[in-house]
Amino acid sequence: MWIAFAFGSAFFAGVTAILAKCGIEKTDSTVATALRTIVVLLFSWLMVFVVGSQDQLGSIDGKTWCFLILSGLSTGASWLFYFRALQLGDIHKVVPIDKSSTILTILLAALILGEPIGWIQALSILVMAVGTYWMIQKPQKEVSGEKGNRWFFFAVASAVFASLVAILGKIGIEGVESNLGTALRTGVVLLMAWLMIPVQKKTGAIRNIPRRELLFIFLSGIATGASWLCYYRALQEGPAGIVAPIDKLSILVTIFFARVVFHEKLGRKEMWGLLLIVVGTLGLLL
């Protein structure tokens, strides 16, 4: 049964980007992030009560709170940049760059934490880097009158902040149960996203969200929460060494639905790039 939950986690994680893309065609990406985070926060606290870690809340010290807030701010920045990149760019180009946060995390862990990089990891990083380059090399179609240059900056920024989340977690919040830490970080993300709306003078955009897009925004939040629930259940019953690689295959789900829903086609080199990313991801888990 745990295999079904592992594949369920990959499926829901993969469709999150598709649902989000459907919800930000006309809706501002910051507003969409703020709304979907409400749903994600509800699911994250549901996870806390499922594992029973809510009792640890009162024992969190000041240093841990500091790193929780910093990691939450990094998570928020990553989400804001990611959905802005999705709004401007093609899914099959944004997602591989976002997945490259795994590479950045390993490199930062080596530079900051002194964690060694084995030859298998080094080879996997190289394979993933080549695969990512092949997938984004072909110019994307013109989006909303723009030539598609800005999406790359937002996608890279998303990956950088996503890698910082892992490093901050490693340094300062190891003593917090993972689900409780996720819930608290998500609370910071929610606060950050809603503060960004008046700062960017986008309050009026909330009233102008098309109902169809509002539905997809909330569905993307539900998909994220469902992915977390499936992933936890799979880890509870199955070996992490198998569950984690299956979950990482979410990129295949995303690319498939990008082809079906948005008619994004992959060229031969992009197909090879996708294969290299998958092989490299599996190699990192050896």
Which residue has 């998500």 as its token pair?
186
Give this prediction's pTM.
0.90
Q: Tens of pLDDT along the chain (286 residues)?
A: 888 999 999 999 999 999 999 999 999 999 999 999 999 999 999 989 988 999 989 888 888 899 989 999 999 999 999 999 999 999 999 999 998 998 898 898 889 888 888 899 899 999 999 999 999 876 665 444 444 578 999 999 999 999 998 888 777 666 788 788 889 999 999 999 999 999 998 998 898 899 999 999 999 999 998 998 888 778 778 886 678 778 888 999 999 999 999 999 899 999 999 999 999 988 877 7
pLDDT at 145: 46
